[in-house]
């Protein structure tokens, strides 16, 4: 990348699933990393290998409170991502998105840091057009059980672009589509981790609704590569980063079952409210602006993820 140097990076949500993989990548490339987390869904164990490293610092802090730090770059990931966790305390989720992003933008402005927001495909809600390009403005239920997260991320995007317009803050806005891989929490309720954990425990796989709803699953290493290219590049976004391979939830269940135990039962459970029917990114912008596309197939990514859960599930 053109502007590679040893930055001092702040990663909010750095003890979580995506954040800890990002920490690994930045540490491996010789940069300084300050990781900030309140441990709501993150774990110190994800960062074990960096504790006591001279280029690494860990701060317990909640992004809804302001903080003063001297940094060059902010990777703002702090926010629960799984429906089970973001619906646990929806008011706190909205506060984390709004106040957390506001505080981090204030910090970015004060010290002149570039800031990347981990936004989401959920800004498209239950999309009426398929697949979803960045120009699509979305279809979100403002009063439903997913809105604390969806609307939280929408206002977070708005804040970023207003800071760019008013204060020339250097922003990067990334719309992340369903991402999976090692270090997802066994109990976080997302479909890939649920199916793998259920299959390894010999339990039935739980499909919500008829299983014909679709998602596009991106392996974590591909996602982190896209995130780094976006931060290093000149495009402020919003930009979709995801794998355009689209699968029904039934197909995903079959893939997991066939790899672990084809005799496992599948049970159907009620579809949660406002569960989007379909989701698939248009990634031509990421392709053009970042020269990025995912490299790891769902089959290969599942193999790596299953191996990790086998080694780590208690
Ligand atoms: P995660 O839950 O594993 O990580 C979130 C991290 O943020 C955790 O370590 C958690 O403890 C921390 N956190 C939560 N609230 C906080 C607060 N108020 N103050 C400080 N720390 C706080 O989730 P993830 O999958 O790693 O997601 C990371 C980011 O990427 C989130 O912003 C999420 O919205 C976004 N994203 C993820 C996906 C995905 O598929 N994984 C998809 C779209 C968007
Ligand atoms: N899902 C499912 N069984 C599960 C968990 C989730 O069928 O055990 C479904 C869920 O209803 C949704 C899809 O899988 O249609 C993806 O769910 P996830 O929570 O992983 O992501 P999101 O809905 O936020 O995209």
Confirm if 122 and 177 have CB atoms less than 8 A apart. no
305 is a domain residue: no
249 is a domain residue: no
Is residue 2 over pLDDT 70? no
Structurally, the chain folds into a number of domains equal to: 1
17 is a domain residue: yes
The pocket around ligand 1, CB under 6 angstroms, is made up of 12-13, 15-19, 37-42, 62-64, 77-81, 96, 100, 118, 120, 176, 178-179
Question: pLDDT tens-digit profile of 23-73?
Answer: 999 999 999 999 999 999 999 999 999 999 999 999 999 999 999 999 999
309 is a domain residue: no
223 is a domain residue: yes
- Ligand 2 within 6 A of 153 CB? no
85 is a domain residue: yes
Report the mean per-residue pLDDT for the chain: 97
Q: What is the pLDDT of residue 3?
A: 47
Q: What is the pLDDT of residue 295?
A: 98
**191: CA distance to ligand 2 center in Å?**
5
Rg (CA), the chain: 19
Confidence of residue 1 (pLDDT cuts 50, 70, 90): very low
Instruction: For ligand 1, pick from 10, 12, 13 the residue to mutate: most ligand atoms within 8 Å of CB.
Output: 13
CA 1 to CA 144: how far, in whole Å? 42
Question: pLDDT tens-digit profile of 244-274?
Answer: 999 999 999 999 999 999 999 999 999 999 9
- Ligand 2 within 6 A of 206 CB? yes
Q: What is the pLDDT of residue 4?
A: 52
**13: CA distance to ligand 1 center in Å?**
6
**285: CA distance to ligand 1 center in Å?**
24
Indicate the Cα dihedral angle 198, 202, 203, 204, nearest 10°: 90
Which is it for the CA torsion 140, 212, 80, 70, positive or negative?
negative
CA 125 to CA 216: how far, in whole Å? 15
Q: What is the CATH number of the domain that holds 63?
A: 3.40.50.720
**308: CA distance to ligand 2 center in Å?**
21
Q: Which residues span the domain enclosing 54?
A: 8-179+219-243+281-295
CA 198 to CA 186: how far, in whole Å? 9
Is 149 an annotated catalytic residue? yes
- Statement: the pTM of the whole predicted model exceeds 0.95: yes
214 is a domain residue: no
């Amino acid at each position: 990348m053109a502007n590679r140097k040893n930055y001092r990076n702040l990663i909010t949500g750095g003890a979580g699933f995506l954040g800890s993989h990002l920490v690994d990548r930045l540490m491996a490339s010789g940069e300084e990393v300050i990781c900030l987390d309140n441990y709501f869904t993150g774990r110190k164990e994800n960062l074990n290998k960096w504790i006591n490293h001279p280029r690494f610092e860990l701060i317990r802090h909640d992004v809804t409170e302001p903080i003063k730090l001297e940094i060059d770059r902010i990777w703002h990931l702090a926010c629960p991502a799984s429906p089970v966790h973001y619906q646990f305390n929806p008011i706190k989720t909205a506060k984390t998105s709004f106040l957390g992003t506001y505080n981090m933008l204030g910090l970015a402005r004060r010290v002149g840091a570039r800031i990347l927001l981990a936004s989401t495909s959920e800004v498209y809600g239950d999309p009426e057009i398929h697949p979803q390009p960045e120009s699509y403005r979305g279809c979100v239920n403002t009063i439903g059980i997913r809105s604390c997260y969806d609307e939280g991320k929408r206002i977070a995007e708005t804040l970023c672009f207003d800071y760019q317009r008013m204060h020339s803050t250097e922003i990067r806005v990334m719309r992340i589509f369903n991402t999976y891989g090692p270090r997802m929490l066994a109990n976080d309720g997302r479909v890939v981790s649920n199916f793998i954990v259920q299959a390894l425990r010999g339990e039935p796989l739980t499909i919500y609704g008829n299983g014909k709803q679709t998602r596009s699953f991106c392996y974590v290493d591909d996602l982190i590569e896209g995130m780094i290219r976006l931060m290093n590049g000149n495009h402020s976004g919003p930009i979709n980063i995801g794998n355009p391979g689209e699968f029904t939830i039934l197909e995903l269940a079959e893939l997991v079952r066939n790899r672990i135990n084809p005799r496992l039962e599948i049970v159907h459970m009620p579809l949660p409210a406002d569960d989007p029917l379909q989701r698939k990114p248009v990634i031509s912008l990421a392709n053009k602006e970042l020269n990025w596309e995912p490299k790891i197939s769902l089959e290969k990514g599942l193999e790596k993820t299953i191996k990790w859960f086998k080694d780590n599930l208690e």
